[in-house]
C-alpha cells in the first residue's frame, strides 16, 4: 500500500513476551525467532518482556531458563529484559485515564452476582460474557465503600477488522467482545491491560505471536483506540498471528509428542543451536525448497509473506537429519568441548578433537558423539556388549594373537601402514578383511560399531591398542580345548 507523500513509517520494533511459569517452549522459541528475524531483516529492534504478573506461578528459575535458552539459540535483544511486574503503577494510571475520559467504568457486581449471571447463561445456552449491568449506572447506586473493578467500555455497535499479515483480513462484531476488567478490586492490572500499555511504552510496531492470541487482538484494540482518542500517539500495531506448531498426529504440540522445551532438545536430544535455529525457521516459513539456511541468510530472506497459514507439523527425524548436517559442518574443537563437558573430567579434549573428523561422519546428535567416543576413555578390562563378546570366540582369539605379533613390531603407526599390515595378515589367513576387523573392533572398543578400525588404532595409540588386543587374544604358547 502506498504511503502518503512525506510520511515515513516508524522503525520496526518487535517483542517477545514469555510468561516465566516454566521452560522455553519450542513454540515460544519459534515466536521469538520470527520476531528477531523480522526486526533484523528490516533494520529494526527486538525487545524482550518477561510477563511475570502471575507472581504465584512465575519463578526466577523459569526466567533464567528462558533467557538461557534464547541466548543459546543466538537471539540477542536490543535492551535488557523489561519485567511487567515492575510496571503495575503505569498500568493502573492508564486504567484511570480511561475511566476519567468515559472509556471505562466502575463495576460493583459481587462474585455471587457474577456467578448467578453465568449460571443463567449456561442454563439458557448463551455465550458466557459479562452482561454490562454497571455500564450505564452511576456509582452512587452502589453501597458505600463497596469494592469495584474497572471495566473497559467496549463499543457495542459495528465491527472491527484486522488486516493480519499472516491470517489476512479477520472481522469480529464488536458486540461479541465483553466489557472486560482492566483493573481488579485490589488495584492490580489484568493481563489484557498490561500487554497493551507495555507494547505502547516500548514502541512496539509489529506484534508477531501465535494465532491463539488472535482473539486478544480484538480485545486489545479498543484500549489502544480509546487511548489514542484521549491523548493521541497510540497507533494500531501491525499484527501477524502465526499458526501453532502441531505434533506428527496433527494435535497441538504437547509433552506426549516428546520434548517440547528448548532445554530438552539441547540437553537430552543433543541438538546444536544452529540446527534448532534452522529447523524452527523452516517450521511454518519457507523460501522455495531450501532446507539448510544459515543465520545470516535467514536475516536476509525472512519476511512475513513466507509464513504459512496452516499449522506446521513437528518432525523429529527432520530435526535429527538437519542436526547431523550441522554436526558435520561444525568446528572439531567446538564439538570436542561440548562432548568433553558431557563425558566428565576423564575426557581428553585434544584426543576428542583429533577423533572428531571420524566420529562425526554419521552422528545425528551430540549424544551419538558421546557414545561413539566412549571407547577412547574406556578402562581395561573393557566391558563388552553381548554382540561384541560373541565375536571373540576361540578362532578369533587365535587370530588376534597372530595380529598382535605383527603389530608389536609395527613402527609406522599410521592408518596406511596399519591397513597394509592387517590386510597382509588377513590374506595370509585367506580371510576377507571384515572377518578380521570385526573381532578387532570388539577387542578395541567393546562394541560392534565404531569409526574405521584403523582410525581406532591410531586414536588409541600403539600401547593402548596392543594392550586391548592382547587382553582378548589367545596367550602365546597355549591351546584352547573344546
Per-residue pLDDT, 257: 64
Per-residue pLDDT, 21: 84
* Structural domain contains residue 275: yes
Domain co-membership, 382 together with 455: yes
Task: Tell me the binding residues for ATP.
Answer: 255
What is the crossing angle of helices 349-359 and 366-373, to 10°?
A: 110
Q: Are the beta carbons of 262 and 276 closer than 8 angstroms?
A: yes
Q: Are the beta carbons of 154 and 178 closer than 8 angstroms?
A: yes
Q: Where does residue 376 rank: exposed (0-12), middle (13-18), buried (19+ CB within 10 A)?
A: buried
Instruction: Give CA separation, 433 vs 341, 465, 472, in Å.
Output: 36, 18, 19
* Structural domain contains residue 478: yes
Q: Kindly report the CATH number assigned to the domain that includes residue 476.
A: 1.10.10.350
* Structural domain contains residue 217: no
Domain co-membership, 303 together with 255: yes
d(CA 317, CA 20): 29
Q: Kindly report the CATH number assigned to the domain that includes residue 53.
A: 3.40.50.620
Classify the C-alpha dihedral 266-270-273-277 as positive or negative.
negative
What is the crossing angle of helices 453-472 and 394-408, to 10°?
A: 110
Q: Which stretch of DSSP H or E encloses residue 210? A: strand 206-210
* Structural domain contains residue 140: no
- Among 255, 309, 423, 462, the one annotated catalytic: 255
Q: Which domain holds residue 252?
A: 9-80+243-329
Domain co-membership, 445 together with 359: no
Cell of 415: 592408518
Domain co-membership, 249 together with 338: no
* Structural domain contains residue 430: yes
* Structural domain contains residue 114: no
Domain co-membership, 274 together with 360: no
* Structural domain contains residue 153: no
Q: Averaged in consecutive runs of 10 residues, what is the pLDDT profile of the chain (482 residues)?
A: 56 96 91 98 98 85 94 97 96 98 96 92 89 91 94 96 97 95 95 97 98 96 98 97 90 70 93 97 90 95 94 93 98 98 94 97 96 95 95 95 95 96 94 93 95 96 97 66 40
Domain co-membership, 360 together with 304: no
Domain co-membership, 397 together with 352: no
Domain co-membership, 315 together with 409: no
- CA torsion, ordered 280, 283, 284, 290, to nearest 10 deg: 100
Phi-psi region of 6 (alpha: psi -120 to 50; beta: other; left: phi over 0): left
Task: Tell me the binding residues.
Answer: 255
Domain co-membership, 460 together with 470: yes
- The tally of domains found in the chain comes to 3
Active site residue 65: no
d(CA 304, CA 48): 20
CA angle 357-362-365, nearest 5°?
95
Per-residue pLDDT, 192: 95
Domain co-membership, 324 together with 336: no
Tell me the residue ranges of DSSP E strands in 252-401: 312-313
Domain co-membership, 361 together with 412: no
* Structural domain contains residue 424: yes
Per-residue pLDDT, 258: 63
CA angle 67-68-71, nearest 5°?
85
Domain co-membership, 359 together with 419: no
Amino acid at each position: 500500500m502506498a504511503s502518503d507523500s512525506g510520511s515515513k513509517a516508524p522503525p520496526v520494533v518487535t517483542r517477545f513476551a514469555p510468561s516465566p511459569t516454566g521452560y522455553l517452549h519450542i513454540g515460544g522459541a519459534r515466536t521469538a525467532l520470527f520476531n528477531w528475524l523480522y526486526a533484523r531483516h528490516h533494520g529494526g529492534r527486538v525487545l524482550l518482556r518477561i510477563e511475570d504478573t502471575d507472581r504465584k506461578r512465575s519463578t526466577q528459575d523459569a526466567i533464567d531458563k528462558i533467557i538461557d535458552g534464547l541466548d543459546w539459540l543466538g537471539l540477542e535483544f536490543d535492551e535488557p529484559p523489561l519485567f511487567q511486574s515492575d510496571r503495575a503503577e503505569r498500568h493502573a494510571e492508564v486504567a484511570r485515564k480511561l475511566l476519567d475520559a468515559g472509556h471505562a467504568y466502575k463495576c460493583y457486581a459481587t462474585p455471587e452476582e457474577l456467578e448467578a449471571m453465568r449460571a443463567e447463561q449456561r442454563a439458557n445456552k448463551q455465550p458466557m460474557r459479562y452482561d454490562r449491568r454497571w455500564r450505564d449506572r452511576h456509582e452512587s447506586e452502589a453501597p458505600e465503600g463497596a469494592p469495584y473493578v474497572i471495566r473497559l467500555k467496549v463499543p457495542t455497535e459495528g465491527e472491527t477488522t484486522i488486516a493480519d499479515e499472516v491470517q489476512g483480513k479477520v472481522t469480529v462484531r464488536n458486540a461479541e467482545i465483553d466489557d472486560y476488567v482492566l483493573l481488579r478490586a485490589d488495584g492490580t492490572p489484568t493481563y489484557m491491560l498490561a500487554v497493551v500499555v507495555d507494547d505502547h511504552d516500548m514502541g512496539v510496531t509489529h506484534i508477531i505471536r501465535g494465532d491463539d492470541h488472535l482473539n486478544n487482538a480484538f480485545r486489545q484494540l479498543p484500549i489502544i483506540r480509546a487511548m489514542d482518542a484521549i491523548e493521541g500517539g497510540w497507533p494500531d500495531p501491525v499484527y501477524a498471528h502465526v499458526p501453532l506448531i502441531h505434533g506428527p498426529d496433527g494435535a497441538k504440540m504437547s509433552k506426549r509428542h516428546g520434548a517440547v522445551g528448548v532445554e530438552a532438545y539441547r540437553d537430552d536430544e543433543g541438538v546444536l543451536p544452529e540446527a534448532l535455529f534452522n529447523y524452527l525457521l523452516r517450521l511454518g516459513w519457507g523460501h522455495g525448497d531450501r532446507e539448510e539456511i544459515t543465520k545470516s541468510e535467514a536475516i536476509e530472506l525472512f519476511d512475513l509473506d513466507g509464513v504459512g497459514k496452516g499449522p506446521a507439523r513437528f518432525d523429529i527425524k527432520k530435526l535429527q537429519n538437519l542436526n547431523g548436517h550441522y554436526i558435520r559442518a561444525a568446528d572439531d574443537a567446538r564439538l570436542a568441548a561440548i562432548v568433553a563437558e558431557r563425558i566428565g573430567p576423564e575426557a581428553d579434549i585434544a584426543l576428542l578433537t583429533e577423533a572428531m573428523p571420524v566420529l562425526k561422519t554419521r552422528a545425528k546428535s551430540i549424544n551419538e558423539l558421546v557414545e561413539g567416543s566412549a571407547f577412547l576413555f574406556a578402562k581395561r578390562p573393557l566391558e563388552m556388549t553381548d554382540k561384541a563378546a560373541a565375536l571373540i570366540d576361540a578362532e578369533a582369539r587365535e587370530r588376534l594373537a597372530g595380529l598382535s605379533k605383527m603389530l608389536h613390531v609395527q613402527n609406522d603407526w599410521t592408518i596406511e601402514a596399519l591397513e597394509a599390515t592387517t590386510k597382509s595378515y588377513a590374506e595370509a589367513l585367506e580371510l576377507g578383511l571384515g572377518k578380521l576387523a570385526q573381532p578387532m573392533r570388539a577387542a578395541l572398543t567393546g562394541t560392534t560399531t565404531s569409526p574405521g578400525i584403523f582410525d581406532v588404532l591410531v586414536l588409541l595409540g600403539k600401547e593402548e591398542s596392543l594392550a586391548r588386543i592382547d587382553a582378548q587374544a589367545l596367550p602365546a604358547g597355549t591351546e584352547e580345548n573344546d
